[in-house]
Structure 1
């Protein structure tokens, strides 16, 4: 092999723990969209500091220019094939140890491989064909119609598109709210996804962070107090259909009731529902509150790569047709209209979503939701049975528990952590067998972390409630 190829030929393991160099540790005290974090809020959550992940420069694969010599070119092709084969093995291993992030990794899109040779771009308005003919709008609009039926809005009364991710759905929904109410104040609970506060910063919006209950739901008493302090300005509200860390579902009906009782008529507020993960699961949960455009909401967004299981990040955003004119602009270059956040949009994603919706349908999703909830309860019960603090919200498949002491274990199982807590998100690909492997490893390692003078598990009553805390004080 050529000298050029040999420079890149080292083995790599993305799961390995690399000691140096690492990015610096950063503290709390960040400013989110005009609302400063209270002094020491990060420290009050337990750890006090955020340790960033390892520096990817320690494992990156260099890009080198191809050789003019055909013999060396052949060597390089063989080398690249070997790198990709090793990378595939890494992906298989990391998929086996995947618990902390809400992605459904159980899918098979082999039938769509025949489309990878095409540059499919849905730039512009999904309902208006542009001059660029290699698109998938017919699939995109079919998917949008399916979600419109799910959220109870007529075809002629909605507008939407397939986004590149859940964050784009939030950016778009909040942007529509800002355009409808330019002087409006954005209200979002402290446990809302970070993209909501990113939107406030981007759009220079006044933002109020509302307190939350121990469950992670928005505290409507605090919400009411903030509304009454700002009665002169319209309200733009982000409602969480499943919070990022605890999987808590904000009570949409109570939010609407609080607005009405605070003197806000329907023409003075705009509600965006962030349903990134649970927005597609909740319709199939008995006794769950309904997200519906029959209620005075303005927009709903979900992620396509989470519960649905799309291999690339994507999402669905739907709003009322009456609102979208504030954003729409005709674009002669496209021979179309545009009201999206991005210009070019992934035209493959709508096809993947269309394929899955057709294969599974309402009944298929209902079975998968039931399986996820059942397995989530199994995980929570086993954790509590092992003396580990844990909580599971009634409408969620996100199990929250005390943060493992060993960061290597956290990285191995790809757990999402915040302060003294971590969580596992039970998706359709998470089996009982996988949970048993995780639980057995956790219990074994935990016995080495605590006991016999080695320290005590953290108290997480402030995060999970005293009834869910198994520390020495609350057992």
Structure 2
């Protein structure tokens, strides 16, 4: 045994605090020595532990856990999760789930939707028939042309995500980057070996195929990861390196990292216009990601107003319609010089039903349109675990068939083209979403949306009343039609007990640390009242 390992031979490990090196049976010892490396220090002190779950009780020694140890460990974890589920208030996910009785059978089946949702595959353990039903449902809900028709560029194309909307953002920006960079479209792709397809595009100006990305300061952090992973220049990166003294919002000052937002958290359309015009004037295609239910403030960007503004600016500079030429034979296609992607992680799954509730007189207002009713929308994504509620992250990505980029060659191994991002995709997610949608009508969903909107209004009113009672500014705020209410961060115990999300923002140059609660379907007025009661106690706010 290595000398370093010998110095840690007595580190307690597992539910019985037995040193790791002494937990091997005869079959697990080779040459008189344990197989694998021992711990270099006590994992209980190395990891930030959850106090409600003693770490050593769930550790996995080489022998595994016996029946009694397993029962105790699982019970500890179950009690912790059930307690946190009961109080879960700070994130935009639904915890009111009831899939187990109907769908438990499928947990012992492997469902993998690898490849394009609309192509049969030799991998027959899939749920693609349900996936297509789910996609058609959302295509209709989002006013897209359906069903998917590979011969109709105006029909929708989409797939069910294995990750949440972060994967949809990544895929949407990848598609946008290649579209604006002049790479081959799927509808114009001839054969993988066609050299003409691989030739670089040519068009007007030196920046004709150099897209620039824009997103607001209230955008989910996954966008920052996505542009870095995809090597897409943001207006901040390009402006700071090529035009360091030319910030059009404030000449001579550093470029902002993101487009400024309004106080409510929506993108500032006027300031966006100034930034877009700067780069459109120089011939750069425009890649724009907007929020429909921003992560912390729950704000809705005015998609229609932004689209009209950006389209107008692009028209001024010849970027609204342009020809992308390839090769010497005149081969070309017509494309827009801008791409508008919507991250509707929560809003795209919720607001359509809020619109129905408004039209039925159940609520007074709903946010502005965000979907394929807008001709300038290019792609859209949402998360299944947020409004609907699923046990794990999933979602939907959607675009128009005519905007798809040429995929890698069809895989003989799976018998279909893999036009998606993830490769192997969780087929159980399509089953879960299908199950939920099969059991909840439009009327059901509209009533649920109205109830959640009312609960958010109730929480907002209760927090304002608490603010008056305490005679202390708790910074209580709710963006229009948002399901989230934000307020001053309370004591850490309350934050942990209710899983409240935190964010620090600067208001008039002063840092404020907020938390927020989300009025999702599982939250009740009783739970809100319990939280308010704790916030009313002395010492609740530092």
TM-score when scaled to structure 1?
0.80
Q: Residue 98 in 1 paired to residue 88 in 2?
A: yes
1:424 to 505, 508, 517: 517
User: Aligned partners of 1:96, 1:228: CA distance in 2, in Å?
Assistant: 49
CA distance in 2, matches of 1:311, 1:177: 30
Q: Which residue of 2 aligns with 1:144?
A: 135
Is the CA contact 2:130–2:434 (under 8 Å) kept in the aligned structure 1?
yes
Is contact 2:178-2:405 (8 Å) kept? no
After TM superposition, the structure 1 stretch with the greater mean CA deviation from structure 2, 134-143 or 276-285, is 276-285
Kindly state the Cα deviation for residue 449 of structure 1 after the two structures are TM-superposed.
Answer: 5.2
SS of the residue 1:338 aligns to: coil
Q: 1:171 to 1:313 in 2, by over 3 A?
A: same
- Cα deviation for residue 22 of structure 1 reads 7.1
> How many Å apart are 1:379 and its aligned residue?
0.5
2:262 aligned with 1:262: no
Equivalent in the alignment of 1:118? 109
Deviation string, structure 1 residues 59-115 (Cα, Å, up to 9, x no partner): 373222237xxxxxxx71332133112211111101112111111111211200111
The answer to whether the aligner puts 1:362 opposite 2:442 as a matched pair is: yes
Partner of 2:405: 325
Give the Cα separation in 2 of the matches to 1:347 and 1:449. Answer: 45
Given the alignment of the two structures, is residue 242 of structure 1 paired with residue 293 of structure 2, yes or no?
A: yes
What secondary structure sits across from 2:232 in the alignment?
coil
> Once structures 1 and 2 are overlaid, which stretch shifts more, 330-339 or 427-436?
330-339
Compared CA separation, residues 8 and 203, structure 1 to 2 (3 A): farther
1:448 aligns with 2:527: no
Unaligned runs of 5+ in 2: 1-12, 20-43, 150-154, 182-209, 236-257, 322-335, 359-365, 468-473, 505-512
Partner deviation per Cα, 1:199-234 (whole Å, 9 max, x = no partner): 100011111321111110001111111111101111
Shift of 1:56: 12
1:434-445 maps to which residues of 2 (within 5 A)?
A: 434-444=527-537
Which of residues 160, 163, 169 in structure 2 aligns to 1:162? Answer: 160
Structure 1 residues 229 and 84: CA distance shift in structure 2, 3 A: same
Partner SS, residue 418 of structure 1: strand
Residue 275 (structure 1) aligned to one of 341, 344, 347:
344
1:130 CA drift (Å): 1.4
- Aligned position for 1:47: none
Stretch of structure 1 that moved more, 301-310 or 258-267? 258-267
Q: Is the 8 A contact 1:275 1:300 kept in 2?
A: yes
In structure 2, distance between residues paired with 1:372 and 1:166: 21
In the alignment, which of 193, 204, 220 is matched to residue 269 of structure 2? 220
Per mean C-alpha deviation after superposition, the further-off stretch among 414-423 and 262-271 is 262-271
497, 518, 528: which is aligned to 1:412? 497
> Do the aligned partners of 2:94 and 2:521 also contact (CA within 8 Å) in 1?
yes
Whole-angstrom CA distance in 1 between matches of 2:309 and 2:454 = 33
Secondary structure in 1 aligned to 2:348? coil
Q: Following superposition of structure 1 onto structure 2, how do residues 170-319 of structure 1 map, counting pairs within 5 Å? A: 170-182=169-181, 183-208=210-235, 209-231=258-280, 232-264=283-315, 265=320, 267-285=336-354, 286=358, 287-295=366-374, 296-319=376-399
SS at match of 2:111: coil
For 2:120 and 2:61, the matched residues in 1 are separated by 40
> What is the RMSD computed on CA atoms of the aligned residues?
2.4
| 2:252 matched residue in structure 1 | none
Large movers: runs of 4+ above 4 Å: 19-23, 53-58
- Distance in 1 separating the partners of 2:294 and 2:502: 14
| 8 Å contact kept, 1:189–1:210 | yes
For residue 339 of structure 2, give the secondary structure of its aligned residue in structure 1: strand
Cα distance, 1:328 vs. partner? Answer: 5.0
Q: Residues 110-159 of structure 1: CA distance to partner in whole angstroms, max 9, x if unpaired?
A: 20011111111111111112111111000111000000001111222111
Higher Cα Rg, which structure: 2
* SS at structure 1 position matched to 2:539: helix
What per-residue deviation string (whole Å, max 9, x for no partner) do you get for residues 338-377 of structure 1?
1211111111110010000010122111111111110111
Alpha-carbon separation, structure 2, partners of 1:381 and 1:414: 21
Gaps of 5+ in 1: 10-18, 24-52, 68-74, 451-456, 458-475
* Residue 14 of structure 1: aligned partner: none
> Is the 1:273–1:301 contact (alpha carbons within 8 Å) kept by the matching residues of 2?
yes
Q: Label 1:54 to 1:78 Cα distance change in 2 as closer, same or farther (>3 A).
A: closer
Matches of 1:77 and 1:54 in 2, distance apart? Answer: 23
Separation of aligned partners in 1, 2:15 and 2:292: 49
